[in-house]
Chains A and B, each alone.
Chain A
């Protein structure tokens, strides 16, 4: 039986646990390739550039720039718990260390959101085990 939940929670595996745990503790970690030094997100079983399995969870700078954005005005293909957060400012954020992630930007008026805008990560706990990064415009 699948239990109905308000917002989706990740199924945490040994591969992905370091990310969720770090975010729960207010830190951004990413896999960095031990061979070619590529940072990557989301977690992969090997480096998508060179194929090395020597991926090392590494502290990443919690800063980036908005690569693109949308303002979601309805909860399509996601859980109804998002309803109270609408509109959702969903972005693709290019992290300074060179990986891209889907991320919510908050504390920003929709009309102020711009490509290239500098953003800083903050962290929100989503369960006992996991947190996620969200972003705010840099001061």
Chain B
């Protein structure tokens, strides 16, 4: 399936921190806005998706029964196929794979994929805390909430503590990622936090859940994103800059070691990245940038390792030795990442690495453009399983040639 489908348009709405005085937009509103931006770039109309595909990512705030069909109704599109993204931060990447399979098999020729959420306007069971009802029910919550688990930061902190027990890692190395991301964000008008900070400021930022600091944590925002994927044939009639899906790999519910007592320091990228690279026919040296799922610098670091850019346990050293800037020898999170850009809900941050990869490969990243970008990698990383790092780990290789 290498190069059989291509992305021909993307949209990312401005994000909001829902400060007093800002307009309060609904999920539907953000979806239409993001879709409009993607359609405009592709030179298409929403009516081009009648009889085709519509992909809809999960929204914690607004989802109702038949959420994808309800979204089609709201947008006035009558698709033949609905794809539902239900893999947290891997949803955007997962829907791209599902869409590619649908296009490959000839069921549809094109799919519009949308996602938005407004977590800052979430009706919560606990005032002031972003706890949607779906986060506080089910066996998974029953065996976390009462036991004192304080959300993703505490869960990832447990992984990081264990990692630092097994391998060498300095906080300065994680800080280098955070500082570099913010530097990229300063070049990206879409990022929510754009003022650069220093490594010293990172090192002195407040510890929230040892060893994770404030400047390690993704800020949540309201916002929406979209992309359009078509057969390569159709793509070439619509744009001179299609971005081809060269390879993909997906790993769900990965255990490193025994299921009851796994080693939690290795993620499913160790499975999905080699798959994606083999399908794409590329080596590490061919990949000109990496857009990891970057909600915490530590997750970016583990992704670099499990992608095989360096040996397991040498991620910290790798980061120290490489230049992570868009014009360096290992461009990482060139849009500023979610860390500085913001995460529009748990299921939609995963659109961001994909959208930035497409922009880079179309040469549209402006002052943060990677020179002559032809091949890049993007990731989806979704959900936190009980006591482990990531439920879905998806690796994508994209390129300017099929």
Contacts and interface: CB of A to CB of B under 8 A. Distances in A.
Contact of B150 (A42, A75, A132): A75
B148 A104 contact: yes
A7 B144 CA distance: 12
Contacts of B149: 78, 90, 102
B314 to A, nearest CB: 21
A8 B209 contact: no
A74 B154 CA distance: 10
A99 B152 CA distance: 22
Nearest to B151: A77
A110 B211 CA distance: 12
B150 A115 contact: no
Contact of A8 (B133, B145, B211, B261): B145
Contact of B131 (A38, A77, A85, A101): A77
B135 A88 contact: no
A103 interface: yes
Nearest to A127: B146
A11 B136 CA distance: 10
Nearest to B255: A48
B261 A2 contact: no
A82 B152 CA distance: 16
Given A4-B125, A42-B386, A76-B208, A67 B162 contact: yes
Contacts of A122: none
Q: Interface of chain A, helix or strand or loop or mixed?
A: loop
A38 B259 CA distance: 10
A109 to B, nearest CB: 13
Which of B130, B146, B162, B264 has most A Cβ within 10 Å?
Answer: B146
A43 B158 CA distance: 21
Contact of A40 (B129, B136, B210, B260): B260
Contacts of A90: 147-150, 154, 158, 209
Contacts of A12: 142
A85 B148 contact: yes
A99 B150 CA distance: 21
Interface in B138-175: 139-154, 157-159, 161-162, 165
A124 to B, nearest CB: 10
A69 B261 contact: no
Contacts, number: 155
B113 to A, nearest CB: 28
Nearest to A110: B210
B147 A102 contact: yes
B207 A73 contact: yes
Contacts of B212: 70
Interface in A82-139: 82, 85, 88, 90-92, 94, 98-104, 110, 115, 126, 130, 132
A79 B145 contact: yes
B146 A8 contact: yes
Contacts of A91: 158
A72 B150 contact: yes
Contact of A88 (B137, B150, B158): B150
A68 B143 contact: no
Nearest to A88: B148
A76 B153 contact: yes
A64 to B, nearest CB: 11
Interface in B51-93: none
A80 interface: yes
Given A38-B260, A69-B161, A16 B139 contact: yes
A98 B147 CA distance: 19
B143 A100 contact: no
Given A79-B145, A92-B264, A99-B260, 14 more contacts: A39-B260, A42-B143, A42-B386, A48-B260, A69-B161, A72-B150, A73-B207, A74-B150, A76-B153, A79-B129, A82-B150, A90-B209, A101-B387, A104-B148
Interface of B: 125-131, 133, 135-137, 139-154, 157-159, 161-162, 165, 207-212, 258-261, 264, 386-387
Interface of A: 2, 4, 7-13, 15-16, 38-43, 48-49, 67-80, 82, 85, 88, 90-92, 94, 98-104, 110, 115, 126, 130, 132
Q: Which 6 A-B pairs have the closest CB atoms?
A: A77-B151, A8-B145, A70-B157, A10-B142, A42-B143, A68-B162
